[in-house]
Structure 1
Amino acid sequence: MADGSMFGDALRTPPANVEAEQALLSAILINNKAYLNVDEILEPEHFSVAIYGRIYEVIQIIINAGRQADGVTIREYIKGDVLLGRQTEGEVIATLLKCVVGITFVKSYAVTIRDAWVRRCLFKACSETLDRCCRPGNDTAADIVDGLENGLLELARGTDEAQPTTSLAVSMQQAREAALAAARRGNGLAGISWGYKALDRMTGGMMPSAMYLLGARPAMGKTALGLGIAIRSAAAGSSVLFWSGEMTAPQLGARAGAAYAGLSTQAVFTGRRYDVPEDAETGDRQVLSDWQWRDLEAAERKAAQLSLEIDTQSRITVAKLRSRARRMARSKRGLDLIVIDYVGLMSAGSTYEDQRTYERITKVSGQLKQLATELNVPLVVLAQLNRETERREDKRPMMSDLRDAGALEQDADMIMLLHREHYYLKKQQDAGLTRKDREGTEEFANRVSDLANRTEQAKGKAEVLIPKNRQGPEGTCRLHFTNETTWFRDISEDERSPAWVVAGEDARE
């Protein structure tokens, strides 16, 4: 029975409906108005017979140019085409024109043709998966699953039905109703909260299906801000999925615990005190005091109130992220936001594309944008900027610093660039200034003093530059950064206040 079943599978042919393809093309060639009923449903690649796909493409070209597409006008386009095989263009056209179909039925034929195409794609994906399962090689079971999931994600993107058009009046009504809903919420936000008042004021919150890109150079604190957005948004009542490709769950937990307990991250990692000097003789540091352990436990209790899930699977594909996000969306708590740290560590699901950074990120970016639309939730995507910032005297990042990051700049609805001037000034100060040619002692001393003053004034200050915002103004948001706890706050917040406050609770609780 097993052998017979396998043999039967081998004899199966990919599904196709040639008669429907012939009938549809005939209807269009006889009456071009039929094309208007199918142009949003069909593309040339949906045809199983290659020459029929080519003819449909020619019909598109001719009709879109405002001319009549019929047996005569398409002949010159397909004459001598290799897709004809042993047939002539006349024989193929004659075969099509023998089919007489009314314009009424073309839409159902188009749906049939597209359905057969989807089935062929599934047939191919499953056949390739079966082949990989049975073929000796280096593919692990996880690799095969990733490949299948990625193929199904691409197929799902291609099978989305066309969105119906909406009149201007209805669009304005939808916008007004959304504004009324925002007004009733009492927080002035059109979307969900960032957890930071400065960002909420600038953007009106994170909008469903929008993709927000947060770019920064290493050591600027993009993971800290991404985690802060995830935690504070969850504290405001949102359900959040946070994916990290470079940190483990305990490491992220240590950061959050340190921020809430007011300890340095190093103290949480080691269990030792860094707020008091080390022993002068042995160099050892004291173990955390009882009250500090209690503060960490209190942080855990506050975190337990949040709907925040952490995923740290390395080299995750969008297909796998999608399945996890959909599972969370179906849960009782739902899903309101996805934070990705960071896009450069995601896989495109293809060994070929993963070897080429630009192509990989471009593909991943498109898939992420599709995911945001499909789940109707905002995505905050972290990205690393190129080194151009380091070469400029003014270290503030620019959108052009994203040029190595594939299509992220184009796909993002809003771009945020994180900058901390203190990092660069401190680096310059620690390296020491070099006296310039013909520079006097007093001039050099003034320059050293000026650098020291600027470094001190910049301490704790952070800027989120917004050079692109499809839904609102561009500008700069200012935040406060505590280096010891690697945590961002609004500049109006007390540095000793809780790192986050659960909605409905008093900050002093």
Structure 2
Amino acid sequence: MKLSAPIPTLKRKARLLARTGHIPLHQALDRIAAEEGFGAWSLLAATSAATRPAGKLFARLAPGDLVLLGARPGQGKTLMGLELAVEAMKGGQRSTFFTLEYTESEVLDRFRSIGADRAQFGGLFELDSSDTISAAHIARRMAMAPRGTVVVVDYLQLLDQKRENPALMDQVQALKSLARDKGLIVIMISQIDRTYDPSAKAVPDLDDVRLPNPLDLKLFDKACFLNQGEVRFQTV
């Protein structure tokens, strides 16, 4: 069954319904699911997961890759990052999600929104939402990570907001070396500049990445961009 809008758009609609209707979010999600012809949000999410592109995208990634995952707000880049982590864990690989943006409860909520159960993966999944996240922090946490571990960083532009952290270019270079030396797959979620015009270009690309500080995007091995349910993958 084709959805009337991408999952992130439906999720935003549910959040608005929860606020305006003064009902719990899970009830709002179920109402939106009913409008789409599903008995519950969990059924909608599970059905949608079977047709979403994370599996095909993950198959194109390899240990040692540094990957850029970019989209404007509300287009599902965080969900895609988690879906890629889930794809890794389905194959027995570990995943760690570093976020300066979300709390643990919000990340768990996003697991549910993609039809995944955090508990089923046991010790394969780790969440780090500390305020000290930087390339050096990630390297310390991943020092003993096995080859093939997926590392999702949410998000690129926040890494150098603290003055005590190295320049963004230096941190991305360090993460590139970490990926190659340890055989990790490092996925960096990225903002897209406000100047991006979807009427002129259906999906953003490297030219649209928001860069408040200098960064050579050729440091990335691969890139994936999202907009309105469309996904574009490229080798950098």
Same fold (TM over 0.5): yes
- The residue that corresponds to 1:446 in the other structure is none
Question: Which has the larger helix fraction?
Answer: 1
Q: Secondary structure at the match of 2:203?
A: coil
After TM superposition, give the deviation of residue 365 of structure 1 in Å.
Answer: 1.3
Q: Which residue of 1 aligns with 2:221?
A: 413
Provide the C-alpha distance between the structure 1 equivalents of 2:132 and 2:227, rounded to a whole number of angstroms: 27
1:226 Cα deviation (Å)? 0.5
SS in 1 for 2:204: coil
- The residue that corresponds to 2:133 in the other structure is 316
Which residue is equivalent to 1:302?
120
2-structure distance, mates of 1:463, 1:300: 26
- Please name the residue that 1:343 is paired with: 156
How many percent identity over aligned positions? 23
- C-alpha distance in structure 2 between counterparts of 1:198 and 1:253, whole Å: 24
- Which of 51, 54, 57 lines up with 1:199 in the alignment? 57
Work out whether residues 95 and 125 of structure 2, in 8 Å CA contact, stay in contact via their aligned partners in 1. Answer: yes
Structure 1 ranges of 4+ moved more than 6 A? none
SS at match of 2:73: coil
**Displacement, 1:310?**
0.8
- Residue 191 of structure 2 contacts residue 210 of structure 2 at CA under 8 Å; is this kept in 1? no
Give the one of 168, 172, 178 matched to 1:361: 168
**What TM-score does the superposition give when structure 2 sets the normalisation length?**
0.68
| 1:242 paired to 2:97 | yes
Letter in 2 for 1:215: G
Structure 1 runs not aligned, ≥5 long: 1-194, 262-298, 355-359, 421-461, 471-509
Aligned partners of 2:67 and 2:221 also within 8 Å: yes
Q: Which runs of 5+ in 2 are unaligned?
A: 1-52
After superposition, the C-alpha distances for 1:320-371 in whole angstroms (9 at most, x for unaligned) are 1111111444xxxx762211111112248744x77xxxxx322221111111
Relative to structure 1, the CA distance from residue 233 to residue 338 in structure 2 (aligned partners, 3 Å threshold; closer, same or farther) is same
Q: Which residue of 1 aligns with 2:179?
A: 372
What secondary structure is seen at the aligned counterpart in 2 of 1:260?
Answer: coil
| 8 Å CA contact retained: 2:203, 2:230 | no
Contact residue 365 and residue 408 of structure 1 kept, 8 A: no
Query: 2:203 touches 2:231 (CA, 8 Å); kept in 1?
Result: no
**CA 258–215 in structure 1, closer or farther in 2 if over 3 Å, else same:** closer
- Aligned-pair CA distance for 1:232: 2.2
CA distance in 2, matches of 1:205, 1:395: 22
Shift in alpha-carbon separation, 1:209–1:313, aligned structure 2, 3 A: same
User: TM-score scaled to structure 1, two decimals?
Assistant: 0.33
Alpha-carbon separation, structure 2, partners of 1:235 and 1:346: 29
Find the residue that maps to 1:388 and give its secondary structure: coil
Which structure's residues are more often strand, by fraction? 2
- In structure 2, the residue matched to 1:212 is 67
State how far apart, in whole Å, the 2-side matches of 1:315 and 1:233 are: 26
Q: Is the 8 A contact 1:335 1:377 kept in 2?
A: yes
Whole-Å separation in 1 of the counterparts to 2:205 and 2:67: 16
- Which whole-Å deviations, capped at 9, do the CAs of 1:364-414 have from their partners, x for residues lacking one? 211111111221212111111111214854452132112626325210011
Say which structure, 1 or 2, has more relative contact order (CA 8 Å, 6+ apart): 2
Who is 2:209 aligned against?
402
Deviation at 1:236, TM superposition (A): 2.0
Is the Cα–Cα contact under 8 Å of residues 409 and 415 in structure 1 kept in the other structure?
Answer: no
Change (3 A) 1:347 1:414: same
Q: Number of matched residues? A: 184
User: Cα RMSD over matched residues?
Assistant: 2.8
Separation (CA, whole Å) in 1 of partners of 2:235 and 2:148: 24
Q: Which entry has the higher C-alpha Rg, 1 or 2? A: 1
Which residue in 2 is equivalent to 1:463?
Answer: 230
Structure 1's 221 and 408: CA in aligned 2 closer, same or farther, altered over 3 A?
farther
